[in-house]
Structure 1
Amino acid sequence: MLKYDETLVVPDPTRSLADGAVEPWTYPSGRWYQRQLLKAARRHGLDVSRPYAALSEKERRLVYAGDGSFSGIQGFFEEVESYRYKLHVRVFLSRYRSQSPCPACAGARLKPAALAVRVAGLSIAEFTALTIDHAARVLADLKLSAWETSVAREILKQLNAKLTFLLRVGLGYLTLSRQTRTLSGGEAQRINLANQLGSQLVGTLYVLDEPSIGLHARDTTRLADLCRELAQAGNTVIVVEHDRSFMEAADHIVELGPGSGERGGEIVFNGPLADFRKATHSLTARYLCGRETIAVPLVRRTGRRHLLLTAAHEHNLKSVTMRVPLGTPAPSPAPSRPTSRPRGLTTR
């Protein structure tokens, strides 16, 4: 459920009420409410020069709920919500709301009757909180009676097939309850690919845009093998890629270039992989076959300063602490965890 988040309404708790701690009241439209807040604070003897973080629970409740003559933050949002038919008002309100677990179902989004049903000791909410890899192991170890097996045969068949396809495209680390909007582009493409593998269609054209982004080399090879399976089943698979494994797994290569952007736009090569390896006019082919290489630097730079990330939590990261050297290239290799890379953490 969505509710107004105190950390968004007061993004900097070190600021005082007088200094504009309540962020929506720092805009011209909220200045009247800011003046009412200061008047209410004087009536209740509240020191408006103290940081918001130093206010007691009672004082914060006054700011949020108000009193008889002051509507507080809650009353402010209730009044603004009456104008939700205006687009800019909806955008404004969305800036201060975040998702929070429902107090009735604790975020399970199911009725008590549905949560009361358990298989292998797990409710459906607990099962979907597992990773795909863990869920597959639970199903593999599931002990059922003959009658239960006959009832669940088709369901288990479909579940096992879906989980197997997701594992084959290298997504075993994702939880089943993971929201699709939090996935990377490569992860979303691989989920779609897993669905297509399960549908067993033929005569279909698939176009994949760099599906190997963020993948470990092991999983890239698996993904290339799956694309070949689709092709062998009677489909056409077009993959826009820069990865060597995909190029070497292709039947036909089309290279666009010779440069990027404005320096490209021409077909440099168009033909079978065997002919591509022999092409001398293709820079990509020369590097792919080892005729040209990039020399490894003899001397490596060492970082004099470091960025310290402490107890990082984001998607697949669980309380990770790491030191990143500054002023040097610092890759973070991992077995296919693109949505957990430090990039998002260092921008917070």
Structure 2
Amino acid sequence: LSDKAQPEQNWKSLRFSLHLSCSCCERSFEHQTPQKFSFNSPLGWCKSCEGLGTEFGANQDLLITGPERSLRDGAVGTWPDPAANPLFAAMLEAMAITFELPLDDPWYRLTPAQQRLVLHGDDEKWVQVTAEQLRGTPGTLPFRFRYRGLYPSIEAASRLSWSHRHSLSEMAGTRDCTACGGTRLEADAAAVRIRSTTLPQLCRMPLAESLKFLNQLKLSREEKKIAGDLLNEAIHRLSFLVDVGLDYLTLDRGMPTLSGGESQRIRLAGQAGRALTGVLYVLDEPTIGLHPRDNGRLLEALKRLRDLGNTVLLVEHDREVLDAADRLYDFGPGAGRLGGTVVASGTPAELKQQAAQSLTGGYLSGARSIPLPPQRRDAAAGPFLELLGASRNNLRQLDLRIPLKTFTCITGVSGSGKSSLIMNTLAPAVAKRLGLSTESPGIFRELLGVEHLSKIVIVDQNPIGTTPASNPATYVGVFDEIRELFCRMPDARVRGYRP
């Protein structure tokens, strides 16, 4: 840069490159292509995990228990609660100033560098806690410290003694890849931003928030020529996912973790977005796992398919869905060999008038009903099974108190945390305490009342058979008794048959 006040040899030089290279860090970059943004392509996947996004090590899910929460609200389950610990709140404020770390943004909105700082720490900077930040802890003098990070702290603690290693062993398991942070993309593609938001950050937002972000994007005239149609198509497809009641899911959610009803609704949303006509859609109980609050949204999506000129056929038991159908066919009159017959058909109103021969019609019309129990067990006396401080996924330091020897239901809207609390935290914690499992439960503070239990039986939606030879008789064990009975027959005993 020319400067008349300086001799020419002291003029400042600026270097520019036509080849996407940086003279400071001596790195060069390739032109981005669509394949670079796909973790299914060797051009775009992380070279360390090859697009899987995971590796074996300290399980990050046990450390970051609430990715949708901020650091101040308890995203890091192994940290003290800032709301209940003024000293730690002061230290957190000091860290935010020293490392420019946002405390009120959800974990998934933090940049990879900020997430890496929380997980791996910083060995160079000192964090100064001032008297102003310590105003909530009278008598504590200002001090400074170095933040070592979660992983180094766990590693250091495990080296102190065998007891520490044993207590931390349950944290070992599958965790996010340390190279890509679980994004599954190579670093250059993962760093590309649209309005300060990267692709991994967008994929970790709940679908409702992702849709809101895309709707708020304002493109210039030149940008509309490039991405206008793509943006409209993305909004169109996300809208269908939200319309079928999946607004709480994230785009990077693994398919094996979805329930049967969620998988069906995702396929339904994919079909609805294609706007096909003359198609027969067959669905098997799509309302499984769906709260009645979201039934209306699912029905609107189904009616939209019908209005396009398609035929929608459902196997369903939900009353709201039955009332919304154009035509019903009621099978019966019983189950197994007593069934196989259409006992009534017609519109919902017509089926209600056939209550004499149709069980379904009787319940729809109100002629039949499920009687309420005349007397309920007293749950106030106890004993109780108590789970304190549950923090898995969106659970916020939840305390649960379940009366034993009662019939207790856990309910709530889809995505509210029921499965995180019961299937991912309480059940594994009880099984581990009873010595029946080594599975690591979600983060919690304390489990009380297990001494009143002798066993836990978990009944879920997973298939019970592991081989083609399995059947209900072998699973429940009755086949063992049947074989023993046949072995005791005279002819079997003569021939020396054994079970």
C-alpha RMSD of matched pairs (Å): 2.8
- Structure 1 residue aligned with 2:361: 285
User: Which structure 1 segments of 5+ residues have no match?
Assistant: 8-54, 64-96
Offset of 1:154 from its aligned partner? 1.2
Shift of 1:319: 4.2
Q: Is the 8 A contact 1:308 1:321 kept in 2?
A: yes
Deviates more, 1:269-278 or 1:133-142: 269-278
1:108-129 CA distance string (max 9 Å, x none): 1112211221112111011101
Secondary structure in 2 aligned to 1:160? helix
Give 1:247 deviation, angstroms: 0.5
Q: In structure 2, how many angstroms separate the alpha carbons of the residues matched to 1:181 and 1:115?
A: 24
Q: Say which of 371, 377, 387 aligns to 1:309.
A: 387
> What is the DSSP-based 3-state SS (H/G/I as helix, E as strand, rest coil) of the residue aligned with 2:194?
coil
1:297 maps to 2:373:
yes
Structure 1-normalised TM-score? 0.69
Q: Which of residues 194, 197, 200 in structure 1 aligns to 2:269?
A: 194
Partner Cα separation in structure 2 for residue 163 and residue 292 of structure 1: 41
Deviations 1:141-173 (A, max 9, x none): 223333223322012101111111011001001
Please give the residue correspondences for 1:9-88 in structure 2 after superposition, counting only pairs within 5 Å.
57=159
* Mapped pair 1:205 → 2:280: yes
What is the one-letter code of the residue matched to 2:376? R
AA aligned to 1:325 is P
Task: Provide, for residues 237-256 of structure 1, a one-character-per-residue CA deviation record: whole Å limited to 9, x for no partner.
Answer: 11111100111111111112
SS at match of 1:292: coil
- 2:256 — aligned with what? 181
CA distance in 1, matches of 2:332, 2:245: 31
Alpha-carbon distance, 1:5 to partner: 5.4
Query: Which residue in the other structure is 2:296 paired with?
Result: 221
Contact 2:395/2:417 (CA < 8 Å) preserved in 1?
Answer: no
Report whether the alignment pairs 1:99 with 2:177.
no
SS of equivalent residue, structure 1 residue 324:
strand
Normalized per residue, which structure has more helix?
Answer: 1
Q: Does structure 2 retain, via aligned residues, the 8 Å contact 1:129–1:176?
A: yes
Letter in 2 for 1:335: V
- In structure 2, C-alpha distance between the alignment counterparts of 1:343 and 1:210, rounded to whole Å: 23
Q: Would the aligned equivalents of 1:252 and 1:273 in 2 still touch at CA under 8 Å?
A: yes
Preserved CA contact (<8 Å) 1:258 1:266:
yes
1:253 and 2:328 matched: yes
- Counterpart residue number, 2:440: none
Following the alignment from structure 1 to structure 2, what is the Cα–Cα distance between the partners of residues 346 and 263? 41
Please name the residue that 2:399 is paired with: 321
1:347 to 421, 424, 427: 427
Query: Residues 9-50 of structure 1, C-alpha deviation per residue, up to 9 Å, x if partnerless?
Result: xxxxxxxxxxxxxxxxxxxxxxxxxxxxxxxxxxxxxxxxxx
Larger deviation, residues 312-321 vs 323-332: 312-321
> Could you tell which deviates more after superposition, 141-150 or 106-115?
141-150
Q: 2:411 aligns with which of 333, 339, 344?
A: 333
Distance in 2 (CA, whole Å) between partners of 1:239 and 1:338 is 26
Residues 58 and 294 (structure 1 numbering): CA distance in 2 closer, same or farther, change over 3 Å? closer
Q: Percent identity?
A: 38
Cα–Cα, structure 1 residues 305 and 324, in superposed 2: closer, same or farther, change >3 Å? same
Pair 247,155 (structure 1): closer, same or farther in 2 beyond 3 Å: same
Per-residue deviation, 1:317: 4.0
Counterpart position of 2:340? 265
In structure 2, list runs of 5 or more residues that go unmatched. Answer: 1-48, 60-156, 166-171, 429-499
Offset of residue 259 of structure 1: 2.7
Amino acid aligned to 1:347: A
Task: Say how many residue pairs are matched.
Answer: 268
Give the residue type in structure 1 aligned to 2:369. T
Matches within 5 A, 1:87-126: 98-126=173-201
Flag the 1:301–1:202 CA change in 2: closer, same or farther, 3 A: same
Question: So what's the TM-score if we normalise by structure 2?
Answer: 0.49
Q: Distance in 2 between matches of 1:315 and 1:295?
A: 37
Contact 2:394-2:416 within 8 A present in 1 as well = no
In structure 2, what residue type is equivalent to 1:291? A
Q: Counterpart of 1:302 in 2: which secondary structure?
A: coil
